[in-house]
Every structure is written in structure tokens, then in C-alpha cells.
Chain A
């Protein structure tokens, strides 16, 4: 083994070309709270990597504020051991990270370094480097969002459908099930046959390490980790990592999109991302605006989310779907950051604490939730049943006041209220149990065509489970036909009707 080491050293030394060049240097004048002020380095570029020489080695920093005679830089490592008077050198490189297929199944930090203790990520091939900040695809490079991204959640896939290349915001108070929805979406991808398996990237920003560890365990147990990548900037990470993590996740997703693959990136959550950016901006003495956020906090999120796209066939046909998460305080969706992100995204899934506490889980407020892509991102089969479902639920919501006061109502209204209650029960779903879209179509068909009308409300939960199991076990071929064709053709509809009649008896 020592022979191999010697030979490797000889080869490295033989290939080494010692071209010493004049390098631009600066001096650290101030350091503290993860931010440096460096004098000199007059030719440095914005977002360029700077290396600070310390006794323990070099520490990277990111040039953010380019002022006359000095630079404000963000430390990308520990600031312990950095003193005023230390030298800083330019690297000439804009911040980027290594990306590649080898990242699948790995846990990395925002600089692309492994955190899972499984050693180097890129052992064999030299990896590609992608810039953290990249220009979003232009209008001509895109095409319309038409391919569905099934989350496995009945309420979402039927009424708030998400397409590949869309940005759909998940917004709600703490502990309302936002991360659970994102997790179900990731787990469901392996069950969604007939479409390419997308690479899933989960970006944890400011999350508790225990929560992230639990999430990774859940992904692993459900066989989803092998097509996922987790980027972690935990609660104990410096604000610079909170700031960079979403851009790192996006860059990884863009690598797969540019290859013609589909990717899904979840930013959990962008509220903490905005807090981190506010902290950095205040330390860099940038002028504070509303709620002490810097003036470009909208641009912080718009330039990130615009990079999600469905590329045209000429550009490879790949897609990057974004599911940003925003945490509201006391249900206030009219606050600064939530309204910013709502105006950027192509729709939102609004989760309410009241609905959660009432037992309606997922606690989706269908009235305030919307998908601006709509039925373009649904299969033909789902389109046929979802329209009726949405309409009947909307009618039920209008009539809910009567239900509360138990007033005398006519038969038609009673039927509508009953139908609405049945649909509400059908749309309830347990955590980590995504439902394949063909089953969702069958369930929605059963509910909207009266096959469940004579069931009592308290029986619905068990009845739904029973119906799903019955269709899976006895009429799997019918479900397969729906899954393969994506349509509810007349022949398939007849088969489904027969199956439902037999179950109803």
C-alpha cells in the first residue's frame, strides 16, 4: 500500500506545473456575527469566493457588499480564529457547487459537502459545477405545464392539481401538516407509474436537526431516499447557510432538469430563509425596509422560484417543480413575506389550524387554495371526476351555515349537504399514506355518482378504506387500465360501474 501511495505522489508531483502568479489580496478589518469587512480587493466580483487565511487554514467567504475601499463578505465557515489583520485572497470563482447523479440518496450541506458520514460523493467521475445563482430560463425556452405531478393526496390531486414545472406554495400556521404534504408528494412519486420518476430535493432551512433526522428516516423507510437528495441548513447553522441552502437545492434540481429529467424541489421553509437574509443584510448595514427586511427581499424569492420551469423539447423537455413552504403567524396570509411569495407562485395550498383541530386532515381550505395551472395538469380521468367534485364541495361550503343551525331545509338542499359531508370524509387522509391517482379517480367517481349516498357519516372513513381495498384486490385490472391510459374511457367506466355496483350491494 505504501508503494501505491508513493506512485500516486510521484504522478501528482510529475504533473504539477508551478506557475506562480500575482494575486490580489486584502486585509480583514472587522469580523463578527458571521460577517467580515475586508479592505482592498478592489477588483473582486459580486458573489465571488474569497479565502481568508487563518492559522488553522483557509476559511471561505462570499463577497456581497462591494463598497468603496472595502468589501462586506459573508463567512461560509466558522468565524472563530479569524482576527482583524488576517489576509484575504480572491479565488476568481463565483460561488458554485458540485452536482451529479451520485448525489442521489445523500445528505449534503449548502456547499455540497456530505453530512451523512458516507464519505466522498464524487469518487470516480469529475463532477460538474453549477452556479448557485443562475439566470432563469427565458420565455422561449419554456413550454406549458401539462404533465401532472401527483402528490397522492386526494384533496390536492383532484381540486388543486400540480403540474411538472409549476410553483405551488404550501402555506399555513405551525403544526398544520405542511411538511407532511411535501413528504407525501415525495413518497408518492415511486407509485406514480406512467410518468418519469422525478428526482426529489428536500431543502431544510433552519429546521431542528431532530426533525430533519426523522424526515430522512421516513424517506428511507418508504423507499424514497434512493431518488432524493436532502440539503440541510439546520437551526444551528450560520445565517449564511440558511441564505444559500435554497439556491443550492435549486442548482441541484437544475442539473437534472437540464439533462431532460424531471425534478421536484421543496423549500422548507422560505419564512426562515427570509429571516436569515434579514439578519445578514442588517449585519452588512444594508438599509432596512418594512419589518426590517431589506428592500430586495421580494427579489430574494422571485429569482429563486423563477428558476422552476418546464423546458421546451428543444431544451431537453426537463422540468423543475417547486413546492415552497411558508409559515404564517395566527393564520395571517396578508403579512409581508406570505403575500410576496403568493404573488410569485402559480397557486397556493392553504392549511388552517381550525380545520386541523376539527379533525379534517389534511387541513386544506379548498376555498382559499388554488392552482393557477388547473386541469391542464390533470389526467383525462381525473378531469372527468374532479369538476363535479369541486362543484359539489363548493355548494356544500355555501350551505354549511344551515348545517350548523340545523334549520329546516328542503330535500334537495339536504341531499347536497349529505353529499358534501360524504365528499369531505372521502378527502380525509392519513399521514404518509399517499393514494395512487387511479384509486383517487375511482373513489371520486363513486362519491360523485351516488354510490356512497346511503352511508352514514361516521361509516365513511372505514367505508372508503374498504372500497379502496376492494378495488385494489378484486378489480386491480380496472385500476390498471385507468393508470395506463390516464383516461376513463367508456369501456373502463362500464367496468368501474359494475365494480361499484357489486360493492354497493
Chain B
């Protein structure tokens, strides 16, 4: 029976929670071998992404992607984070020249705030 990546990810997140780093490495090896044995190795990236998300949710953290048109000084990123208010954020930064200017924020890969010039132009002419 094919096991969905979601189930693998939940099981993995449960297993590695609160474990020692030495034990986690051994656990990852065994887990990978099991996934390969079940013939689901093609979904490994999906399983990894979902596991990361579950672990983050367990710790009460949110993923936070900041996309800008060019590299900003560290202080700018800190100012953006401060505006987000309370909450713990696992911050990732990305440069996308297609934004032209401004910034685009994505939280938990499920909510987005588009403050880029590209977004404004798109809304203007749609």
C-alpha cells in the first residue's frame, strides 16, 4: 500500500522531536532505508519539506520568506520582522529582480503580502 508523504512526515516529526543529535542521525538513516524499501523514495523531497513544516509547527514557529528585488542591509530585514509583531519566525531571504522594487512576504507558504512594484502595477492595470 502506498503511504502518503504526509504520513511519513508526521511520523518522522514525532520520532525526532526532543531526541539527541547522535540518535537523530541514526534515525534518519533507518527512516530513509524504510522509505526506499516501500518504494516511496521519489517523494523524499516532499516528505522532507512536510517534516520541516510539522517540526516548525510543533515548536510554535512560522516560516517567513522575504523576497526583495535586491539585497537589503540586515537592519532592513530586522525592521520588517519587527512589524510582524509577536511570534517566532524561521526567516528565509530571497532576491527576485522581477519584483522591480519593494518586498513580498510569505508566511507558512499559505499567506502572502505583495508590496512589490510589480504587484502594484499588476493590480493597477488588471
A residues lining the B interface (CB < 8 Å): 12-13, 16, 18, 20-27, 29, 40-42, 69, 87, 89
CA A236 to CA B115, docked complex, whole Å: 40
Find chain B residues with CB under 8 A from A18 CB: 120, 123
Query: B110 contacts which of A21, A25, A29 (Cβ < 8 Å)?
Result: A25
Chain A neighbourhood of B120, CB < 8 A: 18
Give the residue of A16, A20, A42 whose beta carbon is less than 8 angstroms from that of B119.
A20
23 A–B pairs (Cβ distance < 8 Å), ordered by A: A13-B124, A16-B123, A18-B120, A18-B123, A20-B113, A20-B114, A20-B115, A20-B119, A22-B112, A23-B111, A23-B113, A23-B114, A24-B110, A24-B111, A25-B106, A25-B109, A25-B110, A25-B111, A26-B110, A29-B46, A40-B110, A87-B112, A89-B112
A25 to B106 CA separation, bound complex (whole angstroms): 9
B112 touches A42 (CB 8 A): no
Summarize B's interface: helix, strand, loop or mixed.
mixed
Q: Which residue of B lies closest to A39 (CB)?
A: B109
State how many residues of chain B have any CB contact under 8 Å with chain A.
14
A-B contact count (CB 8 A): 36
Which of A12, A16, A27, A89 contacts B109 (CB under 8 A)? A27
- Chain B residues, Cβ within 8 Å of A41: 110
In angstroms, Cα B115 to Cα A18, docked, is 9
Contacts of B114 in A (CB 8 A): 20, 23
**Structural contact, A25 and B112, CB atoms closer than 8 A:** yes
Interface check B6, CB cutoff 8 A:
yes
Q: How far is the CB of A285 from chain B (nearest CB, A)?
A: 13
Chain B: minimal CB distance from A40 (Å) = 5
Note all chain B residues with C-beta closer than 8 A to A12: 124
Which B residues, 77 to 126, have Cβ-Cβ distances below 8 Å to chain A? 106, 109-115, 119-120, 123-124
For B110, what are the chain A residues with a Cβ–Cβ distance below 8 Å? Answer: 24-26, 40-42
**Residue contact B6 to A23, C-beta cutoff 8 Å:** no
Instruction: Give, as a whole number of angstroms, the nearest-CB distance from B117 to chain A.
Output: 11
Q: How far is the CA of A87 from the CA of B114 in the complex (A)?
A: 13
CA distance A183 to B81 in the complex (A): 66
**A74 to B: closest C-beta gap in Å:** 22
List the A residue with the shortest CB-CB distance to B102: A20
B43 → A minimal CB distance (Å): 11
Q: Which 9 A-B pairs have the closest CB atoms?
A: A25-B112, A40-B110, A22-B111, A22-B113, A23-B112, A20-B115, A16-B124, A18-B120, A20-B113
Find the A residue at minimum CB distance from B46. A29
For B6, the chain A residues whose CB sits under 8 A away are 69
Bound Cα distance from A41 to B112, whole angstroms: 12
| Whole-angstrom CA separation of A436 from B114 in the bound complex | 62
Q: In the complex, A29 Cα to B111 Cα: how many Å?
A: 17
The CA of A29 and the CA of B6, in the complex, are separated in Å by 13
Nearest opposing residue in chain A for B108, CB measure: A40
Least Cβ–Cβ distance between A419 and chain B, in angstroms: 69
